[in-house]
Structure 1
Amino acid sequence: MRAALGATAVLVVAACSAIPTQGAVQKGDARVSEGDPVVVVAEGPAPDADPVSIVEGFLLAGSAGLSGDFVDFVAAREFLTPDARSSWDPLGSVVVASATQVQRTSDTQVTVEVQVAGKVDADGRYTEASADGRESVTFDMVQDSRQQWRIGGTPKGLILSRGAFTSRFRAAQLYFLSPDSQVLVPETRWYPSRNLPTSVVKGLLSGPSPWLRDAVRTAVPGGVQLKPEAVTVDADGVAEVDLDPARTVQTADRGLLLAQLQQSLQLPQVRSVVVRAGATGVPLDGATSLPTPAVGDPVMIQGDALVSLVNGALQPVAGVGSLAGLDARSPARSADGSVQVLLSGTDRLMLAPTATAPGRVLISGAGLAAPSVDRRGWVWTATGGSVLAVTPAGTQVTLTAPWLAGRSVKALAVARDGTRVAVVSDGADGLAIDVAGVVRDASGAPQQLSTPVRAGASVADAHQVVWADPVTLGVLGGTGGPSTLRLVPVGGQSEPLPDVADAASIASGVGERSMLVATHAGELLRYDGRTWVPVQGATGVHDPAYPG
């Protein structure tokens, strides 16, 4: 691909005072923020440029439109005809490209062949593409009255290289509420780095995505808007959010509304948040403090015992009896330890035995998936294409999930907030990693799974899934071959972790440094951010699991 026309990269360096060279060292109160990025300044089309050069210049100018102090596509529109300028929606969609090739395919058409990594829609939702994802984008070319080539027909949106996308866009979490208003639930969106706080607030006011909508609630009243339509952030990092209509805002659950806004605006450039009902209103205060779902110590099976890794050492789990004769595997427990379950073989889900009582079977079925326990005490598993949930008392439900028809569930994991479940399944179209909202009745009993969002489309094999953090999955693959480990964001690009040749199972608390791998040889490894290192003294173990 030839170099695009008429663009130069300018490194913008913030002005700063001279560095002192003498005197005592002074303690400062500096706030660390994101550095100023490289700004690409694009010019319009060069005289007599050929169609390929026009398209190349347009692509580069589109990328440059996101790099200045403001989102500005004036230069990019110069490559378009007047009609195309008025119809082009640059942020209507973004194609994230691993590679592109531009070629003239007819006298009046230029085609861009794109190796697609992912796509972002107008609302900031990122969808990863499959490993072989490709797309052809055709530009219709016309000559104006001066015989200069311009683009007369262009698809909406932008095509950005992965590098340009990474530098121009940022992932942000929009926080909604669990149905009982006890937990904040994140949803990842991708917005231009410029004016990020404004995009975040507008996204939050618009509500959750369809797949999550019936599993959460929001304290934002209907019809509330950002007025003026921008969040201002001053030099001290104070973000000011003015919401209208003032009367509607004043009648909202103020504490929960502020909790959602403050958590969603946890951004590098924001230190504190001021929210007003109306531009002249008094700042609202009294945000509700909502705890993060607890994550305790991991458990695993060693011999005939259920043990826990506490401060780097293994110790028996209190209250759990011997597992002898159970063919015990895949333990799971609630955060408070009141619910302890495991699989007995591959076809029985049971409560763990105690010192005084044997284990009790909760569900029997062929090829049960490793269980997961939600924060309400429901135990989840699957058999075939059915997802099941059961209480320790034995009340069982089969969740409605039409999208699993004709598929076989290989693994599942409920998020610790209890509103989302990750499901790995096989079907005629191959492997799928889906994340669905959990729809519950008034008592909190799970009833159905929403139509899901696809994650990890580039992942070819998976047989175990865990929540690595509130918005990222950890996935173990390698059925019939070398094991593979990946981090799979729910709304982002999957990334490989260093492989462990004989990995048998994985576990994760919050963050990749909490991740554990058990090998087929019974060794336990932990991730230190770069590689996997042995956990001293942890031998002869299998199936580690954090609460949840």
Structure 2
Amino acid sequence: MTRAVRARAVVCVASVAFALTACVAIPTGGPVTVGRGEEVRELDRVDVLAQGPQSDADPARIVEGFLLASDAEATGDFDVTREFLAADERTEWDPGADTIVASATQVEQTGDAQVTVSLTVKAKVDADGRYVEVPADALETLRYELVQDARGAWRISHAPDVLVVNSRRFKQQFRETSLYFLTPDKKMLVPEVRYFRDRSVPTAVVRALLAGPSTWLQDSVTSAFPPGTELKPEAVSFESGGVAEMTLEPARAVQEADRGLLLAQLEASLRPLGVTTLVVRAGAGGPPLEGTPDRLPSPDPGELEILVDGQALRLVGAAPVAVADVLPVQGARPSGAARSADGSVRVALADPSTLVAVPVDGTAQRTLLTGPDLVAPSVDRFAWVWTASGSGGGHLNAVRLDGMSVEVTADWLAGRTVQAVRVSRDGTRVAVVSRGPDGVTLEVAGVVRDGGNVPLLVGPGVGAGASLTPVAGASIVWVDDVTLGVLADGDAGATPYLVPVAGGSTPLAAVADAVELAADRGTRSLYVVTADGDLRRHEGGTWVPVPGVTGALEVAGAAFPG
């Protein structure tokens, strides 16, 4: 016999209603007083209370109740959830192993003592908080085995070590936070986003910091924490008022570490959680570490420049003005202008097969690299210019103005054709759009350099934006340190998307014939260029024409530094 049961949310409100009726009696006497005049706000969430199993529930209803209870107790100890499990399974089941974020769930009894759960999956989060978006409409099946106890009640004898939560509950019960590591030259902080259950998040963050970055990033960053550093006791004391206190072992190694950098990593990682004061002890009973966190700089905000007839222009008010001492690019189809933050490196594509150094201060235009279908260049903070040939080859190209050129190996690009590349502002990560047998994909990978900051290779790629398909040949930008902007196919045509390196993608308003994006620091600095040469700025959830440019000039490209 086969039966399908749709999961139903159960909200317990009786106790809440009772509490309200018991506490809001209207007084009939007493003096007149001045009220506080506080605004009554709507509740921003409804807590769903876990319900235990019914004694006469069949196997499908038991699994359905188990899923509802585990979803409700995602930030708790799963005491009610374990009531659905047989005695031995109560200690074996591990809800912290993996999390599936599901948009739809169907429960079906597929045997006398077997139940199958079909999930429409949006994302997966592993035990260490790493979030992976999955392709649209991805499906997954979980199987549960059941037994009857001495009283004839059904209980689950085997449950997969996974927590299933719906999309809305995931946003309520998991906290997005960034772990901060260091660039190899220890000049900047590098964030890696993780998601932790909304309980003891400071402890989870410190443990993850000590464990180090994910595999894809580990050879591209470093940490001030000595290898083998442990949190003992295994918890961060976080008191009201923002004081976080912790003890790190071994004491001598922690004492000898670079305290300024160590505290900088902790402060940057914990400050968004409400931590205002750090108390870090080296060893049990030891005094707090002295010193203050190093203040590591972030890149200064850049200025938008547009390319019109090969000439770099900047916007002064509503008037486009030629950039001083920068001459027009000579070529059949100038495009892809890019520059360093200080403007000392300026490059562009003179035509689809020729990368050139833009003539500045009277210098002549010079060819840096040739190849079929070169992608728009990106300039990193070490003055390396990144591009790739559309002919494939399993590598990226990096060149300098002095003529030095290297092929940057990326094993996962073998058999793929690169369509766009962009290096992060800190120089430790590169985003790549490529086409292969599985279609067009977006990956982010760590950049491995030698002691002279020469890029040697790109580590394993981690997928981002798996639910969307980037437009062939479209640009990619870093909107902030953990979010990409990319053009992807949408129902209304090319649609700009915000794509976190770890997180769910968000569509913005579609733009007809969009071909290029530009961004610097957040969506307020986000621009789009159309095939007709229009320039539009993201404002108020829509795209507005840029005065003095849209309709007046034919823009061939727009870019901030990088």
Scaled to the shorter chain, the TM-score interval is over 0.9
Match for 1:301 among 296, 304, 307?
A: 307
Match for 1:330 among 336, 341, 357?
A: 336
1:387-422 per-position Cα deviation (integer Å, ceiling 9, x unaligned): 000111110000111111100000010000000000
1:285-336 per-position Cα deviation (integer Å, ceiling 9, x unaligned): 2211100123310111123411123555432222211235452101000011
Q: Which moved more, 1:228-237 or 1:377-386?
A: 228-237
- Tell me the distance in 2 between the aligned counterparts of 1:497 and 1:337: 31
Q: Which moved more, 1:460-469 or 1:142-151?
A: 460-469
- Tell me the distance in 1 between the aligned counterparts of 2:560 and 2:409: 27
Q: State the Cα distance separating 1:179 from its structure 2 match.
A: 0.5
- Tell me the distance in 2 between the aligned counterparts of 1:281 and 1:308: 56
Kept in 1, the 8 Å contact 2:124–2:131? The answer is yes
Pair 318,22 (structure 1): closer, same or farther in 2 beyond 3 Å: farther
For 2:485, give the aligned amino acid.
G
Partner SS, residue 39 of structure 1? coil
Equivalent residue number for residue 559 of structure 2? 545
Pair 4,522 (structure 1): closer, same or farther in 2 beyond 3 Å: closer
1:6-57 per-position Cα deviation (integer Å, ceiling 9, x unaligned): 76368799xxxxxx974999xxxxxxxxx98543331321111111111111
Match for 1:408 among 393, 417, 423?
A: 417
Pair 181,529 (structure 1): closer, same or farther in 2 beyond 3 Å: farther
- 1:81 paired with 2:90, answer no
Equivalent residue number for residue 518 of structure 1? 529
- 1:352 paired with 2:358, answer yes
Instruction: Write out aligned runs for 1:459-470 (5 A).
Output: 459-462=468-471, 463-470=474-481
- Tell me the distance in 2 between the aligned counterparts of 1:431 and 1:142: 47
- 1:232 paired with 2:240, answer no
Equivalent residue number for residue 261 of structure 1? 266
- Tell me the distance in 1 between the aligned counterparts of 2:143 and 2:187: 49
- 1:318 paired with 2:324, answer yes
Match for 2:541 among 519, 523, 530?
A: 530
- Tell me the distance in 1 between the aligned counterparts of 2:491 and 2:147: 54
For 1:545, give the aligned amino acid.
A
Pair 432,11 (structure 1): closer, same or farther in 2 beyond 3 Å: farther
Kept in 1, the 8 Å contact 2:251–2:282? The answer is yes
Kept in 2, the 8 Å contact 1:275–1:283? The answer is yes
Taking structure 1 as the reference length, what is the TM-score of the superposition?
0.92
1:130-183 per-position Cα deviation (integer Å, ceiling 9, x unaligned): 013101111111111111111111111211100111111011100000010001
Q: State the Cα distance separating 1:274 from its structure 2 match.
A: 2.5
1:72-123 per-position Cα deviation (integer Å, ceiling 9, x unaligned): 1111111111222222110100000011111111111111110000100011
- 1:8 paired with 2:12, answer yes
Equivalent residue number for residue 123 of structure 2? 118
Equivalent residue number for residue 140 of structure 1? 145
For 1:233, give the aligned amino acid.
F
Q: Which moved more, 1:351-360 or 1:117-126?
A: 351-360
Match for 1:283 among 271, 285, 288?
A: 288
Q: State the Cα distance separating 1:358 from its structure 2 match.
A: 2.3
Q: State the Cα distance separating 1:490 from its structure 2 match.
A: 0.6
Extract structure 1 runs of 4+ deviating beyond 6 A: 9-13
Partner SS, residue 216 of structure 2? helix
- Tell me the distance in 2 between the aligned counterparts of 1:63 and 1:501: 41
Count of residue pairs the alignment pairs up: 533
Match for 2:404 among 395, 403, 407?
A: 395
Match for 1:371 among 370, 377, 383?
A: 377
Partner SS, residue 373 of structure 2? coil
Kept in 2, the 8 Å contact 1:413–1:421? The answer is yes
Partner SS, residue 444 of structure 1? coil
- Tell me the distance in 1 between the aligned counterparts of 2:296 and 2:523: 23
Kept in 2, the 8 Å contact 1:421–1:436? The answer is yes
Pair 480,381 (structure 1): closer, same or farther in 2 beyond 3 Å: farther
Instruction: Write out aligned runs for 1:28-39 (5 A).
Output: 38-39=46-47
Equivalent residue number for residue 95 of structure 2? 90
Equivalent residue number for residue 214 of structure 1? 219
- Tell me the distance in 1 between the aligned counterparts of 2:16 and 2:251: 43
- Tell me the distance in 1 between the aligned counterparts of 2:16 and 2:522: 34
Q: State the Cα distance separating 1:362 from its structure 2 match.
A: 0.5
Match for 1:191 among 184, 196, 199?
A: 196
Equivalent residue number for residue 29 of structure 2? none
Pair 258,311 (structure 1): closer, same or farther in 2 beyond 3 Å: farther
- 1:245 paired with 2:250, answer yes
Match for 1:508 among 498, 519, 542?
A: 519
Kept in 2, the 8 Å contact 1:6–1:45? The answer is no
Partner SS, residue 483 of structure 1? strand
For 2:356, give the aligned amino acid.
M
- Tell me the distance in 2 between the aligned counterparts of 1:93 and 1:316: 54
- Tell me the distance in 2 between the aligned counterparts of 1:476 and 1:11: 47
Kept in 2, the 8 Å contact 1:332–1:547? The answer is yes
Kept in 1, the 8 Å contact 2:331–2:350? The answer is no
Pair 311,221 (structure 1): closer, same or farther in 2 beyond 3 Å: farther
Structure 1 gap ranges (5+) = 14-19, 26-34
Partner SS, residue 47 of structure 2? strand
Partner SS, residue 463 of structure 2? strand
- Tell me the distance in 1 between the aligned counterparts of 2:140 and 2:51: 27
Q: State the Cα distance separating 1:271 from its structure 2 match.
A: 2.8
Equivalent residue number for residue 28 of structure 2? none
Partner SS, residue 129 of structure 1? strand
Structure 2 gap ranges (5+) = 20-31, 38-42
- Tell me the distance in 2 between the aligned counterparts of 1:524 and 1:148: 67
Partner SS, residue 56 of structure 1? helix
**RMSD, aligned α-carbons:** 2.5
- Tell me the distance in 1 between the aligned counterparts of 2:429 and 2:460: 11
- Tell me the distance in 2 between the aligned counterparts of 1:318 and 1:109: 74
Taking structure 2 as the reference length, what is the TM-score of the superposition?
0.90
Partner SS, residue 424 of structure 1? strand
- Tell me the distance in 1 between the aligned counterparts of 2:422 and 2:33: 57
Pair 96,11 (structure 1): closer, same or farther in 2 beyond 3 Å: farther
- Tell me the distance in 1 between the aligned counterparts of 2:372 and 2:316: 34
Q: State the Cα distance separating 1:5 from its structure 2 match.
A: 8.5
Kept in 1, the 8 Å contact 2:475–2:515? The answer is no
Partner SS, residue 556 of structure 2? strand
Q: State the Cα distance separating 1:503 from its structure 2 match.
A: 1.2
1:478-511 per-position Cα deviation (integer Å, ceiling 9, x unaligned): 4999212111111111111111112121111011
Q: Which moved more, 1:537-546 or 1:113-122?
A: 537-546
Partner SS, residue 386 of structure 2? strand
Q: Which moved more, 1:291-300 or 1:108-117?
A: 291-300
Q: State the Cα distance separating 1:522 from its structure 2 match.
A: 2.1
Kept in 2, the 8 Å contact 1:518–1:524? The answer is yes
Equivalent residue number for residue 151 of structure 1? 156
- Tell me the distance in 1 between the aligned counterparts of 2:530 and 2:507: 18
- Tell me the distance in 2 between the aligned counterparts of 1:169 and 1:365: 47
For 1:65, give the aligned amino acid.
E
Pair 282,346 (structure 1): closer, same or farther in 2 beyond 3 Å: same
Equivalent residue number for residue 342 of structure 1? 348
Equivalent residue number for residue 54 of structure 1? 62
Partner SS, residue 170 of structure 2? helix
